[in-house]
Structure formats: structure tokens, C-alpha cells
């Protein structure tokens, strides 16, 4: 009998070896529109999963919502079903010199969030899979997209460490930002560190490609048509990357 995942609800025959990990389930539905021969896996708790083909290569895309705990549940279940390569795609918050609209490839990620620690992380940098990084670099260069490669940092407490809603949090967010600049961090998100650390623990390959959509100082945000355009470029670059990995190559 085919193995079935507990939360994402799919069985091993429904998923590909190569996976896109996506936060927003709406984004998975928009991605479905540019894939061929799409199969929709039964959705559970908003965890939307599809499999389809890009340039003849089978890929799966799974939505996890937000944050390391649920992102690693999705990764862990898919790895248990046999998936071996995971690429997180999404948005991120820019620190100087990153400019809004640029694409960021993670060479490594740092984080002391709960999921990172649960999978054996210590807060030090955890590297992305080198073959995935190289293939991402080729894909963004071919697409003529403005991009950088470097260190990501991930946090659980969006409204505590990354973005202040109240005056009292402003100083804390500013202190965190100052430390990140000292540590050479280019962008922040909520999942890359946990995903890289869980991938290392489970013996699978992971990478992260994010668009810088929020300015960490001014809180200015890209949205509307500009975001739609960036999202489409993100999809195509990520799909070209997964399709461009050689089958037998460890990522």
C-alpha cells in the first residue's frame, strides 16, 4: 500500500522528487496556471499541494502558510514520501544594500527560531545545497533579473523582531536590525533557516529564492501589479531551476 502523509494528505505516488515550498496557498493556485498536467492533492488545513510538469519535468508545490514549524512539517512529510530537493520561494524583508524588487539567493541562513533548534541548529549559519545555489544563479542570470546571493536570517516573531506595530517594539526591532547588519545579513524571512536545518537533518537538499518586497527601515512594501510581475518571474525562475537540475545529480 502506498505511503500517505498525515497532514498534507497525499500519498507517495502523488508527489515529485523536486518540490517548491510556498507560503501562500493562493500562490500555489497561481503557479498551477503555468504548469502542465496539474494534479491537485486533497487539501487539509490550508496545506495546498499540487504536482505538475514544467518543460517535461515533474514538480510538486506545497503551501505551508507562514513560519518554520509548519514549513518543516510539510518538508518532513514530503521527504518521508521520497522528495529529495526543496526550494523555498517567497518574499523577504530587505536590509542594505538590498533594494526592493531584487531577487535573493540564500547561500546560507541563520536563525534561533524553534524549528531550527528542534532540528539540531545552534544559531550558526546553515548552508543551502550548493548545486541548487549554482543552478539558481544560472537561472536568474539567464532571466536577466537583478539579484544577489548571501546570508538570510529567519525569525518566528514577525511583530516582535522584524516589524513593529507598536511604539514599544520599535527599539527592539531596531536593535535586531543593527545586529543583522553587523552579521552581513541581506534579507530576513520566517522559514529559510528552519528549512535548511531540517533538510540537513533529513539528508535532503534545500535552497531559498526570495524577492525583497519590504524595506526593513521604512516598512515600504511592493504590492499590486508590480508584485504580480515579480511573482511570475519568481515562479518561472524557480521552475527553470528545478527543471535544470540533472536527475542523478545530488543538489
Ligand X SMILES: O=c1cc[nH]c(=O)[nH]1
66 vs 127, which CB is nearer to ligand R1P? 66
Per-residue mark of binding to ligand R1P, 40-79 (x: CB under 6 A): --------------------------x-------------
The CA-atom distances, in angstroms, between 191 and each of 10, 29, 53, 71, 187 are 22, 21, 26, 7, 12
Asked whether position 132 contacts ligand R1P by CB under 6 A, the answer is no
Asked whether position 23 contacts ligand R1P by CB under 6 A, the answer is yes
DSSP helix/strand/coil, 187: strand
How far, in Å, CA of 8 to CA of 75, rounded? 10
Query: What is the secondary structure of 128-175 as a DSSP string?
Result: PPHHHHHHHHHHHHHTT--EEEEEEEE-S-IIIII--SSHHHHHHHHH
Helices 68-80 & 192-202 angle (0-180, nearest 10): 30
Q: Which of residues 175-234 bind ligand X (CB under 6 A)?
A: 188-190, 213-214
How far, in Å, CA of 59 to CA of 245, rounded? 12
Among 87, 95, 129, 162, binds ligand X (CB under 6 A): 162
Smallest separation, CB 17 to ligand R1P (Å) = 22
Among 158, 169, 202, 244, binds ligand R1P (CB under 6 A): 158
Q: If you ran DSSP here, which 8-state letter would residue 17 be given?
A: S
Q: 214 is written with which cell numbers?
A: 519590504
Q: Which of residues 64-93 bind ligand X (CB under 6 A)?
A: 91-93
40 vs 158, which CB is nearer to ligand R1P? 158
Please identify, among the stretches 107-115, 137-145, 185-193, 200-208, the one whose residues bind ligand R1P according to the rule CB under 6 A. Answer: 185-193
Q: Do residues 44 and 4 make contact, with C-beta atoms less than 8 angstroms apart? A: no
12 vs 236, which CB is nearer to ligand R1P? 236
5 vs 63, which CB is nearer to ligand X? 63
Q: 67 is written with which cell numbers?
A: 513560519
Per-residue mark of binding to ligand R1P, 190-209 (x: CB under 6 A): xx------------------
Residue 133 sits at the vertex; the CA angle it makes with 129 and 135, to the nearest 5 degrees, is 120
Smallest separation, CB 14 to ligand X (Å) = 29
90 vs 207, which CB is nearer to ligand R1P? 90
**In the complex, which residues of this chain contact ligand R1P (CB under 6 A)?**
23-24, 66, 90-91, 158, 189-191
Amino acid at each position: 500500500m502506498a505511503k500517505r502523509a498525515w497532514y498534507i494528505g497525499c500519498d507517495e505516488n502523488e508527489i515529485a522528487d523536486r518540490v517548491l515550498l510556498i507560503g501562500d496557498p493562493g500562490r500555489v493556485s497561481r503557479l498551477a496556471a503555468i504548469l502542465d498536467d496539474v494534479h491537485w492533492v486533497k487539501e487539509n488545513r490550508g496545506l495546498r499541494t499540487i504536482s505538475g510538469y514544467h518543460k517535461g519535468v515533474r514538480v510538486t508545490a506545497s503551501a505551508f502558510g507562514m513560519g518554520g514549524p509548519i514549513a518543516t512539517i510539510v518538508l518532513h512529510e514530503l521527504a518521508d514520501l521520497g522528495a529529495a530537493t526543496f526550494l523555498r520561494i517567497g518574499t523577504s524583508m530587505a536590509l542594505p544594500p538590498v533594494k526592493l524588487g531584487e531577487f535573493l539567493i540564500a547561500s546560507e541562513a541563520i536563525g534561533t527560531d524553534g524549528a531550527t533548534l528542534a532540528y539540531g541548529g545552534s544559531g550558526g549559519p546553515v548552508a543551502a545545497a550548493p548545486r541548487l545555489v549554482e543552478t539558481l544563479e544560472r537561472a536568474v542570470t539567464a532571466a536577466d533579473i537583478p539579484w544577489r546571493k548571501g546570508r538570510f536570517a529567519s525569525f518566528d516573531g514577525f511583530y516582535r523582531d522584524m516589524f513593529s506595530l507598536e511604539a514599544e517594539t520599535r527599539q527592539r526591532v531596531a536593535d535586531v536590525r543593527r545586529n543583522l547588519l553587523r552579521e552581513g545579513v541581506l534579507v530576513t524571512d520566517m522559514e529559510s533557516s528552519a528549512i535548511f536545518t531540517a533538510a540537513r537533518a533529513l539528508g535532503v537538499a534545500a535552497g531559498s529564492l526570495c524577492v525583497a518586497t519590504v524595506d526593513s527601515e521604512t516598512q515600504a512594501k511592493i504590492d499590486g501589479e508590480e508584485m504580480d510581475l515579480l511573482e511570475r518571474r519568481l515562479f518561472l525562475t524557480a521552475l527553470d531551476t528545478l527543471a535544470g537540475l540533472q536527475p542523478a545529480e545530488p543538489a
